[in-house]
C-alpha cells in the first residue's frame, strides 16, 4: 500500500493546486489572459530550469549508457499509441464529412496518444522518487516529446489554417524545454555543475521547484475559463477519459509484463500513458481558431478522475 498512499497524496496535492487555479479564474482574481503569462513562464523558464538542472546533475557517460534502453521503450510505446489512435478515434467521431468533424476526430487522436506526461508526469516522478528517477523518466519520454511536438502539433492545427513550415516545425520540436534538456546533457557529460556559482544553481533549482505547482494551477485557470455544466455534458468525454486513464495504459503494461519488463519501465509507462489529457488540446486549437470545448471537457474530466485512477493503477501493477 506504500506506493498507493504516496501516489494518492501526490495526486491530491496536484488536484489541490488545480482547484486553486480554477477558483482564481472563476472569482476573477486573475486577469483573463493570466493563463498566457503562466504558460510562457512554464515554457521559457520553469520547465527549461527543471530539465537543465536535472540533466546537468544526473547525466554522465555511465548513467547515459545504463539508462539508454528507456529511450527505446518510450519510442515503441508512443509509436504504438499513435497507431492505435486512428481506429480508436473513430469510436468517437464516425463520419468526417465536414471539416469540423474531421478536426474533432484529430482531437481524439491526440487524446488517445498523449497523456499529461510532461507537466503532471514530471511532478509525480519528482514528488515520489526524486531527481535521479526524473532523469530516467526524461529519457523514457524523450521521443514522446518529439512526436508530441511534431505529429501531435500538426493534427491539432485546423487544415483551413494552413500547414506549418518545416522551419516552424523544427522550432517547435526544439522549444526551450527540449533545448535545455540537450544543454543539460552536454553540461552533465562535461561536469559543468562543479564549476557553476552557487547562486546560479539556486536559481535553476528554484525555477525547477515551481514547475509542477504552477503547471497544475495553470490547468485549473484554463479549465476555469469554460462553463462547468457544458464541460460535463459530453458523454463521449467520459469514455475517452476511461480509455486514456485505464484501458490504454492497462494494455501497454500487460504487454510489458508479458515481455518481462522491470518495475521501473512499468512505472514509467503508467506515468506517461495513465496520466490525464494535457492542455495542448485547448491551447493549440485556441491559438489557431479550432474547436476547444472537446479538449477542455476531456482535460477537466480526466484530471478529476485521475486522482483515484492513477493510484489504483499503481496499486494494481506496481504496489
User: In this predicted model, what pLDDT tens digit does every residue of 175-199 receive, in sequence order?
Assistant: 888 899 999 999 999 999 999 999 9
The per-residue pLDDT for 163 is 64
pLDDT in tens, 64-115: 999 999 999 999 999 999 999 999 999 988 877 777 888 888 889 999 999 9
pTM for this model (two decimals): 0.87
pLDDT in tens, 148-178: 888 988 888 777 655 666 777 777 778 888 8
Could you tell me the sign of the dihedral formed by the alpha carbons of 172, 86, 300, 118, in that order? negative
> What integer is the mean pLDDT of 287-304?
81
User: What is the Cα–Cα distance from 224 to 279, expressed in whole angstroms?
Assistant: 13
User: What burial class does residue 133 get, using C-beta atoms within 10 Å of its C-beta: 0-12 exposed, 13-18 middle, 19+ buried?
Assistant: middle
The per-residue pLDDT for 61 is 93
Residues found in the chain: 319
Say yes or no to pLDDT of 288 above 70. no
What are the grid coordinates assigned to 80, written together?
504504438
pLDDT in tens, 256-282: 999 999 999 999 999 999 999 887 887
For residue 319, name the pLDDT band (cuts at 50, 70, 90).
low
> What integer is the mean pLDDT of 288-307?
83
> Do residues 7 and 128 make contact, with C-beta atoms less than 8 angstroms apart?
yes
Q: Which residue has the cell 490504454?
A: 248
pLDDT in tens, 41-59: 988 999 999 999 999 999 9
User: What is the Cα–Cα distance from 170 to 155, expressed in whole angstroms?
Assistant: 16
Taking CA atoms, 235 is separated from 84, 226, 248, 297, in Å, by 21, 17, 19, 10
Amino acid at each position: 500500500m506504500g506506493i498507493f498512499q504516496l501516489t494518492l497524496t501526490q495526486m491530491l496535492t496536484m488536484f489541490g493546486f488545480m482547484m486553486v487555479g480554477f477558483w482564481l479564474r472563476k472569482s476573477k482574481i486573475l486577469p483573463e489572459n493570466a493563463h498566457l503569462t503562466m504558460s510562457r513562464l512554464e515554457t521559457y523558464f520553469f520547465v527549461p530550469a527543471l530539465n537543465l538542472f536535472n540533466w546537468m546533475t544526473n547525466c554522465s557517460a555511465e548513467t547515459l549508457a545504463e539508462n539508454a534502453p528507456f529511450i527505446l521503450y518510450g519510442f515503441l510505446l508512443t509509436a504504438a499509441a499513435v497507431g492505435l489512435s486512428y481506429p480508436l478515434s473513430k469510436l468517437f467521431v464516425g463520419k468526417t464529412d465536414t471539416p469540423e468533424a474531421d478536426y474533432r476526430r484529430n482531437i481524439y487522436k491526440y487524446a488517445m496518444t498523449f497523456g499529461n506526461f510532461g507537466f503532471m508526469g514530471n511532478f509525480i516522478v519528482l514528488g515520489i522518487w526524486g531527481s535521479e528517477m526524473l532523469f530516467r523518466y526524461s529519457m523514457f519520454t524523450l521521443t514522446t516529446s518529439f512526436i508530441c511536438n511534431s505529429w501531435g502539433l500538426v493534427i491539432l492545427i485546423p487544415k483551413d489554417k494552413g500547414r506549418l513550415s518545416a522551419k516552424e516545425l523544427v522550432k517547435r520540436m526544439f522549444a526551450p524545454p527540449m533545448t535545455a534538456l540537450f544543454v543539460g546533457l552536454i553540461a552533465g557529460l562535461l561536469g559543468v555543475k562543479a564549476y557553476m556559482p552557487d547562486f546560479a544553481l539556486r536559481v535553476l533549482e528554484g525555477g525547477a521547484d515551481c514547475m509542477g505547482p504552477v503547471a497544475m494551477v495553470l490547468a485549473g485557470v484554463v479549465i476555469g475559463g469554460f462553463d462547468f455544466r457544458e464541460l460535463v455534458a459530453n458523454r463521449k468525454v467520459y469514455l475517452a477519459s476511461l480509455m486514456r486513464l485505464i484501458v490504454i495504459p492497462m494494455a501497454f503494461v500487460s504487454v510489458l509484463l508479458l515481455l518481462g519488463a522491470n518495475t521501473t519501465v512499468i512505472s514509467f509507462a503508467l506515468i506517461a500513458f495513465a496520466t490525464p489529457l494535457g492542455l495542448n488540446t485547448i491551447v493549440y486549437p485556441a491559438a489557431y481558431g479550432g474547436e476547444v470545448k472537446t479538449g477542455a471537457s476531456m482535460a477537466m474530466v480526466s484530471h478529476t478522475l485521475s486522482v483515484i485512477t492513477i493510484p489504483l493503477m499503481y496499486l494494481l501493477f506496481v504496489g
